[in-house]
Amino acid sequence: MRQACLALAVLSVCLPVLADEGMWTFDNFPRDSVKSRYGVDIDQPWLDRVRLATVRLEGGCTGSLVSPQGLVLTNHHCVTDCLSRMSTPARDVQAAGFLARTRAEEQRCAAEQASVLVALEDVTAQVIAAVGDGAGPQANRARKAVLTRLEADCEERHRDAGTRQSCEAVTLYGGGQYFIYRYQRYDDVRLVFAPETDIAFFGGDIDNFQFPRWNLDFSLLRLYTGDAPAATPGHLRWRRAGAAAGEPVFVAGHPGSTERLKTVAELRFERNQQLARWLLRAAELRGRYLEFAARGAESARIVQEPLFGLENAFKVRRNQMQVLLDEDFLREREREEQALRGTLAGNARLRPAAGAFDEIGQALATWHTIFDRHLYFERGVALQGELAGYARVLVRAVGEREKPNEQRQREYTDAALPLLEQQVLAPAPVYAELETLRLAFSLEKMVEALGVDDPMVRLALGRVAPRTYAARLVRETKLGDPAFRARLWQGTRAMLEQSGDPLVALALRLEPEALRLRQRHDDEVEAPLAAASERLARARFAVQGKAGYPDATFTLRLSYGAVQGWREAEREITPFTTLEGLYARASGQPPFRLPPRWLRAQDRVNLETRFDFVASTDITGGNSGSPVLDAGGRLVGLIFDGNIHSIGGDYRFDPALNRSVAVHPAVMMLALSDVYGAEPLLREMVIE
Amino acid sequence: MRQACLALAVLSVCLPVLADEGMWTFDNFPRDSVKSRYGVDIDQPWLDRVRLATVRLEGGCTGSLVSPQGLVLTNHHCVTDCLSRMSTPARDVQAAGFLARTRAEEQRCAAEQASVLVALEDVTAQVIAAVGDGAGPQANRARKAVLTRLEADCEERHRDAGTRQSCEAVTLYGGGQYFIYRYQRYDDVRLVFAPETDIAFFGGDIDNFQFPRWNLDFSLLRLYTGDAPAATPGHLRWRRAGAAAGEPVFVAGHPGSTERLKTVAELRFERNQQLARWLLRAAELRGRYLEFAARGAESARIVQEPLFGLENAFKVRRNQMQVLLDEDFLREREREEQALRGTLAGNARLRPAAGAFDEIGQALATWHTIFDRHLYFERGVALQGELAGYARVLVRAVGEREKPNEQRQREYTDAALPLLEQQVLAPAPVYAELETLRLAFSLEKMVEALGVDDPMVRLALGRVAPRTYAARLVRETKLGDPAFRARLWQGTRAMLEQSGDPLVALALRLEPEALRLRQRHDDEVEAPLAAASERLARARFAVQGKAGYPDATFTLRLSYGAVQGWREAEREITPFTTLEGLYARASGQPPFRLPPRWLRAQDRVNLETRFDFVASTDITGGNSGSPVLDAGGRLVGLIFDGNIHSIGGDYRFDPALNRSVAVHPAVMMLALSDVYGAEPLLREMVIE
């Protein structure tokens, strides 16, 4: 293996054994490397225990089970959607925080589901057999069909398991491996506790991705089955003192996506087409949100949750853009690629894979020609907002359900529909002014990108100005009513057509072109990209074995590292903050304003209590809410962020600079006991 | 000369003789090339006549004299600042348009000045003698001092010329040449006519930089001397029928800036540092403006003028960014650069100039380290808005005037102060909500860029939130009062300190750091860049003579080309639009809404009247309002825009795609006579 790595020393996938790099699958954790580096042996029972105590929150986060009664620890920022749905002008739960004093007070997060990975099966051979060697649309359709069938078979086999089992196909290494992951699924997730946003997100967007930091970014949920706390397959013990500086730690979670194995052509495409456009749209929308918020307290409350999401994503992508503008980085990657091409060309068996680079370039060139139209009409950038989102999903779902399961788009298979249905039907407040803002914005961007003379733009708008039209649609649609959505969800295409709803009518009008663009993208972009990426992945395996880890896919991974600061320019950043620093930083003005109960607590809490800390573990978005574990598998922290350098981690892990940011168990314990009076919750947990 | 060009065939500066490329100085117009390409002989009397009939509008535009009574033709979008200052909630001149029925009704544009270039003198030898061979801070200071002295000497020599003479040093070819340009200056510029914004800017931001087009983007100003129409050195005749398709035409004007001679390192710096940051700020500010406008009609009126400027600049820079993200373009430029370096290295006399590339790289690396702080504090990005702008200029002006003229910053020399004074003291409405928005935005961006813990950020804000602080400053400052500004302008540093004005106090607080950053930038960035750029320019002269044209510098230039459409993808774009197309495009909804008088005129005007047209002339921003001339020097159009491809012209001229967009004389004549009833103005003009 070392030999293989030397031969391909230019490939960054050979580095992780030296650095704390990698988001490893549980079936391929580098046990030996970790043992030699940290003296810790992560054995199979450890892996199984941790896997069964880690949950995926389908809204896009991770959590961990921390009591035998289904209590889940996650971030505050992972429950803002739930808090936002619960809030009203009279009762702003985001501002005030939430604590259920009894089980009866625990509030359902209507759109949320939670999943525990109970089994994983390698199905690469079956996929290869079904797809064959083709690279065209036919092979692409066959690949999706077999994945859908394997999911359905798996669910069928486990239909009588007692709890609901959900099966998902997982593509790893860009197609080097295929798995079926089986989850125990919980669709009744209730909010138990969340602190005030002022302390959970202390420092706001300004401090986001920064360290030192003082965010009490945690919350507690509870999984229910049949109106009773769920019996889950496992849970974690807490280690109140946390881990010491330098101590090895592990992060289990569901990192969303990374691009470390992408080709340079794909990275340039991402930079020039995707990021460049997205950033400009997001910056403008941010300005609109901020000015909307400035109208008054109620406007500010309404827009808070989408604004947080937008600013967070904006900071991520702005920094990603800076990495991809760094010519030195791209040229180094080009040299690596040249070396790999050389290795492949020099090996008769692998030679055909070298052609994958050119095929990727051609597929991207095709994508370029349809990029904007595909983005606006098929990916829905022309129709933004909650209401417009319902319209698009309802129209698509009704159309897809008319087809056999294996021929459907993968987002609408039988395995995928239950979550989608719950999300569409979950009650949610509708804010007409904000909906108008978002819909007007997206229609205006469509006009800007495609021109007022584009036939589809004309079909969407007629000759009406976008803002006028958006206001009318929001005023007249009935999609804000969950019962209306439920009727359409269960309905037929004819029912949609006869609904008389103007937003549904707009989505129906655009649907044929959206589907046409989808088909072109599937056949002329996705098909060759998937085939090329598969070939490259298998060629890499052939050269070096499975020494590397796959890019993140919002599936369960384990990272390792140590509690450790870093050197920033001339300054040494130490790994822990304490409560004392929080009070020193509080200015009384947002976003540095403390909730009253924290101001009152100042004199009676131990100011040396550890608050947040950093570790060298390799994480990304989706790891929010991940447990940080010690060698004994005990909970010693709660991931909520990365430092600013971690954003570049989407393309390259820099062991000197890349750090995860976590909440320390000591401050969570202190908060629950001394500030929020939540002793009953503490009594549920096992604390050491 | 052909030989020299072949030796350096990779240099794009050799191309213009084949394409309609180049913004040529009047002392180096490629008479022979034009003669051989178009059969037109542009002789010295032609050049002199056109030069003396072209004016620079110091607000950033061009105009042309079109009557013996000082009437100036320019764009509507060049007088929006003037219209905006004249407008009130009760009388929205931007919406309603303006026509002075008598001389007495002509309204002064208080901040505007106009200049006619009456003489130009090459002073390169004097500058070289004063600066010597140095590349350090000392040489840089000597260069600026000699330019200031040459300006002062020139003004002194022409003090008794009757009208005010203003002398400006002009740096061409990045320092290959220095000139003193002497202008006849008019500081009393009055508005005579402007159409409604709905017809002047028909299609708004959506159609901006597009063609086919129907913008009646013209206005008329009049220059005054001592309360009487000015006797100007020349004026143009109109050719009502305009130029035919394919006919050669010429554009005289003041293109603002291009980057065609910049090194690749400078282009990458511009992309990664300047454009990337600017675009994200501008997109967000645009979002804020648009949401501010959505509050109501009066908010929309208030923000219209800054919004237009922002959206226009945004479209330019977004497209510039796309060019600089094009790796093929940058790599081609790198190959050209390598070839030039090779040529220089192979010539003993020129060899030292090859080192300039590395010196530029080092200077940019230094700039990078201070970029944000310099941008926010010295270039004022932290303090935006009219009021904050006054504060910054007043503080700087008082400080600079304490120094001898030759030691001052070049923006504050005796030659520069009169225009600055007029701009600072001109009355202007102050809109507190918009000022708060702009100031809050800029303070927030400062915090975002530099962090809340930056000592200068703390010095600026204390621990107050930016929006709160901005609102307080705008509420409490007296800088909205022109009389207050006039007192401070004439005052001393002590008067500023004792003024008690909080915005002045803020500018004073930041001034020492701003000056320190200025000094570092002057000595460690500007000095080596200027020296390196000078050396490169002279090396190019040595190799190829003056076969090329200098980058644009907002000084008088002449471009040539032909009335000509282009091929867009599969489509042929013809060069003219007609009135008929205007009516077909009008939807009744902004920005495609016609003013009532144009709707009423529909039945009685000739719908075949030519409206806008395109030509292959090479222009850029600053050329707005430029006359398009035929071979006889007659006015056959009015530049108001370029097509979308012209934006890439800042870096490379593409003869197949790059087009100027102009208003046709026929529609201007028709508008004045048949729509606005402005026959007295037509009678002033010489029309053929």
Can you give B212-236 as a three-state secondary structure string? CCCCCCCEEEEEEECCEECCCCCCC
Tell me the whole-structure pTM to 2 decimals.
0.96
- First CA to last CA across chain A, in angstroms? 41
Above 50 in pLDDT, residue A17? no
Strand partners, A573: A566
Averaged confidence pLDDT in chain B: 95
Contact yes or no for A325 and B289 at CB 8 A? no
d(CA B351, CA B345): 5
d(CA B661, CA B216): 12
Shortest distance between the Cα of B494 and any Cα of chain A, in A, equals: 33
Could you tell me the sign of the dihedral formed by the alpha carbons of B412, B416, B418, B424, in that order? negative
* CB-neighbour burial class of residue A550 (10 A; exposed 0-12, middle 13-18, buried 19+): buried
- Give the neighbor-by-neighbor strand order of the sheet with A576-578: A557-562, A248-253, A627-629, A635-642, A660-663, A610-615, A576-578
B288 at the A interface (CB within 8 A)? yes
| B325 vs A contacts (CB less than 8 Å) | 271-272, 276
Q: Which range (B155-164, B466-475, B622-631, B648-657) has the least confidence?
A: B155-164
Contact yes or no for B279 and A284 at CB 8 A? no
Contact yes or no for B288 and A287 at CB 8 A? yes
B481 at the A interface (CB within 8 A)? no
Shortest distance between the Cα of B106 and any Cα of chain A, in A, equals: 36
pLDDT tens digits, one per residue of B71-97: 999 999 999 999 999 999 999 999 999
Banded pLDDT at B16 (limits 50, 70, 90):
very low
B447 at the A interface (CB within 8 A)? yes
Domain residue limits, chain A:
2-113+187-259+550-684, 351-535
Q: Look up the ipTM and state it.
A: 0.95
Read off the pLDDT of each residue in A25-39 and give the average, rounded to a whole number: 96
Q: Give the pLDDT of residue A10.
A: 34
Shortest distance between the Cα of B266 and any Cα of chain A, in A, equals: 13
* CB-neighbour burial class of residue A476 (10 A; exposed 0-12, middle 13-18, buried 19+): exposed
| B592 vs A contacts (CB less than 8 Å) | 452, 463
Give the residue on B whose Cα is nearest the Cα of A271: B325
Q: Give the pLDDT of residue B162.
A: 75
Read off the pLDDT of each residue in A109-123 and give the average, rounded to a whole number: 98
Give the residue on A whose Cα is nearest the Cα of B292: A291
Longest dimension (CA), chain A: 74
How many beta carbons lie within 10 A of that of residue B510, not counting itself? 22
Above 90 in pLDDT, residue B163? no
Return the beta strands (E) in B364-425 as ranges: none
Q: Give the pLDDT of residue B18.
A: 54
CATH of domain B2-113+187-259+550-684: 2.40.10.120
More confident residue, A351 or B112: B112
Banded pLDDT at A18 (limits 50, 70, 90):
low
Shortest distance between the Cα of A608 and any Cα of chain B, in A, equals: 22
pLDDT tens digits, one per residue of B312-325: 999 999 999 999 99
Give the residue on A whose Cα is nearest the Cα of B450: A206
Banded pLDDT at B133 (limits 50, 70, 90):
confident
Interface test with A, best of B205, B209, B269, B280 (most A CBs within 10 A): B280
Q: Give the pLDDT of residue B6.
A: 32
Contact yes or no for A271 and B437 at CB 8 A? no
More confident residue, B5 or B238: B238
Shortest distance between the Cα of B475 and any Cα of chain A, in A, equals: 17
Q: Which among B287, B326, B465 has CB closest to A285? A: B287
d(CA A23, CA A549): 6
Q: Give the pLDDT of residue B352.
A: 86
Shortest distance between the Cα of A280 and any Cα of chain B, in A, equals: 6
Contact yes or no for B290 and A290 at CB 8 A? no
Decide: helix, strand or coil at residue B361: helix
CA-to-CA separations, A349 to A10, A128, A540, in angstroms, rounded: 21, 18, 12
b/e per residue A593-626 (b: at least 16 CB within 10 A): bbbebbeebeeebeeebbbbbbbbbbbbbbbbbb
Paired tokens of A166: 């959900």
How many beta carbons lie within 10 A of that of residue A482, not counting itself? 16
Percentage with pLDDT > 90 across chain A:
94
b/e per residue A322-353 (b: at least 16 CB within 10 A): bbbbbeebbeebbebbeebbebbeeeeebeeb
Half-sphere exposure of B145 (CA within 13 A, CB side): 13
Shortest distance between the Cα of A4 and any Cα of chain B, in A, equals: 33
Q: Which among B279, B291, B326 has CB closest to A292? A: B291
Contact yes or no for B286 and A289 at CB 8 A? no
Averaged confidence pLDDT in chain A: 95
| B276 vs A contacts (CB less than 8 Å) | 321-322, 325
Contact yes or no for B268 and A463 at CB 8 A? no
Banded pLDDT at B496 (limits 50, 70, 90):
very high
Percentage with pLDDT > 70 across chain A:
97
Q: Which among B276, B284, B287 has CB closest to A325? A: B276
Q: Give the pLDDT of residue B19.
A: 77
Paired tokens of A422: 């719950």
Q: Which among B205, B451, B587 has CB closest to A463? A: B587
Paired tokens of A619: 């994480």
Contact yes or no for B272 and A325 at CB 8 A? yes
d(CA A564, CA A562): 6
Q: Which among A276, A288, A468 has CB closest to B287? A: A288
CA-to-CA separations, B673 to A10, B110, B604, B668, in angstroms, rounded: 74, 28, 12, 9
Q: Which among B276, B287, B465 has CB closest to A284? A: B287
Read off the pLDDT of each residue in A581-592 and give the average, rounded to a whole number: 96
Shortest distance between the Cα of B516 and any Cα of chain A, in A, equals: 22
pLDDT tens digits, one per residue of B175-215: 999 999 999 999 999 999 999 999 999 999 999 999 999 99
Read off the pLDDT of each residue in A194-206 and give the average, rounded to a whole number: 97
pLDDT tens digits, one per residue of B21-60: 999 999 999 999 999 999 999 999 999 999 999 999 999 9
B153 at the A interface (CB within 8 A)? no
Give the residue on A whose Cα is nearest the Cα of B458: A587
Shortest distance between the Cα of B589 and any Cα of chain A, in A, equals: 6
A587 at the B interface (CB within 8 A)? yes
Shortest distance between the Cα of A640 and any Cα of chain B, in A, equals: 20
CA-to-CA separations, A274 to A320, B47, B52, B326, B335, in angstroms, rounded: 11, 48, 49, 14, 28
Shortest distance between the Cα of A290 and any Cα of chain B, in A, equals: 7
| B465 vs A contacts (CB less than 8 Å) | 589-590
Q: Is the distance from CB of B655 to CB of B615 less than 8 angstroms? A: no
| B318 vs A contacts (CB less than 8 Å) | 280
Q: Give the pLDDT of residue A6.
A: 32
Banded pLDDT at B17 (limits 50, 70, 90):
very low
Contact yes or no for A268 and B210 at CB 8 A? no
Contacts of B138 (CB under 8 A, 6+ apart): none
Banded pLDDT at A163 (limits 50, 70, 90):
confident
CB pairs A-B closer than 8 Å: 102
Interface test with A, best of B288, B299, B461 (most A CBs within 10 A): B288
| A279 vs B contacts (CB less than 8 Å) | 279-280, 283
Contact yes or no for A291 and B287 at CB 8 A? yes
pLDDT tens digits, one per residue of A406-427: 999 999 999 999 999 999 999 9
